[in-house]
Every structure is written in C-alpha cells, then in structure tokens.
Amino acid sequence: MDLTKYVQMVSREDFGQAFRHVAVWNRRLRSTGGRFFPHDGHLDFNPKHLEVFGEALFRQIVRHELCHYHLYFQGKGYRHRDQEFKILLKQVDGIRYAPKLYEDSYNYTYSCQKCGQVYLRKRRVNLNHYRCGKCQGYLIDNVKTNQS
C-alpha cells in the first residue's frame, strides 16, 4: 500500500480537502497510532496498527491525524484540548485514542501500610525517600510481579 496515496484518498473522501505533504511508516511509534509534524506537515503512522487491528480502525487513526493537519493549516485549534479539534474529529468519525499494541509491564509492586493504596512501578523505589501520596503512610515492597 502506498501510504501517501491512501492518506490523500482519505483526505479527499472524508474532508473534501487535499493532503499536500508526505505520509510515512514509522515502526518506532509505540504508544500512538500516528503523529503529525507541524514544522514540515508530514504524518507518521505505525504499520502495526494496520496489521493488528485492520483497515477500518487504521482509517480512523488516519482521520485523527488529518484533523490535526487540516486544522493546523487553517489556523484553527489543532491540539487535542481544542474544541475545534474535538468537533471535527467527531464529524469525520475519527478515533480519539488508538488501542494499545503492547501490555504495560510493571516490575515492582508497592503498597501503603496504612491505607492499602497499591503502586505499580517499572523501576525500583527507595522506600526511605517515598511515602504514600494518599495518606502519607509508609510503603512496603510486595513480591515482584514480572520475574525474569
């Protein structure tokens, strides 16, 4: 699939506007399905989202990035928090958040002695320096959740 031509087609069909820049595959994207670069107008997309979730969901990701693209070049609010972005995304049936491709892996589990609040962490925490954010109680180290 020629990605730029696909994005141009989606832009014409769903937005009625031309996409005049380049769309490229980027396998390094892990937490997102796509990315818009305002400085040069190009779009990056994660090919794993197309492979894993199919073309219907991938098209919604393309619509999401095209919302950023078209609003930016119209001088309107193109960020996630802007009302214009939210309205346009809803009109074109774009997806707000791309589904996760990878499970979060937490290596350490800590809990508060006082209130029982659980904290999952990827890195080890010095229990002498940190307390519970909820009640200021002392933290205890639970058994590792993912032992290798």
| Residue 51 known to be catalytic | no
Q: Rounded to an integer, what distance in angstroms lies between the CA atom of residue 93 and that of residue 98?
A: 13
CA-wise closest residue to 17 among 59, 61, 74: 74
Q: Which residues partner with 110 through β-bridges? A: 119, 141
Q: Name 136's Cβ contacts closer than 8 Å, sequence gap at least 6.
A: 114
Q: Which of 55, 65, 84, 103 is an active site residue? A: 65
Q: Rounded to an integer, what distance in angstroms lies between the CA atom of residue 144 and that of residue 108?
A: 5
Q: Which residue has the tokens 């989606």?
A: 10
Active site residues: 65
